[in-house]
Amino acid sequence: MLGPFMGEATRHTRIEFGKGICGQTAERRDIFVVQDVSKESNYLSCSTKVKSEIVLPILKNDAIKGELDIDSHFSSSFSKEDREFLENLCKLVSQLF
């Protein structure tokens, strides 16, 4: 279920495991960096403005507690350093559970 977020309204407030990038992240408990969402066959568009996305699971004892999903209006927005920083952030957030 979609929790606190910032951005345009979306009809995707509940996403099944395996559906879209967020659903794949939850199902696989893995990080997805999509530099060009137009090339993804399983992408669920929340806004036509989104060009790239990074989604990271927030895990506690291998259980999914949430996700960090960041969209960009530009292609190829996310670097290796972004991924590493956000991965560390998610590890810190997981300690709150």
Strand duo 52-60 + 63-72: pairing: antiparallel
Q: Are 15 and 31 in contact (CB under 8 A)?
A: no
pTM: 0.86
pLDDT tens digits along 10-22 = 666 677 788 899 9
Q: Among 40, 42, 22, 41, which Cα is nearest to 31's?
A: 22
pLDDT tens digits along 40-56 = 988 888 788 999 999 99
The domains of the chain, with CATH numbers, are: 20-94 (3.30.450.40)
CA distance 29 to 67: 10
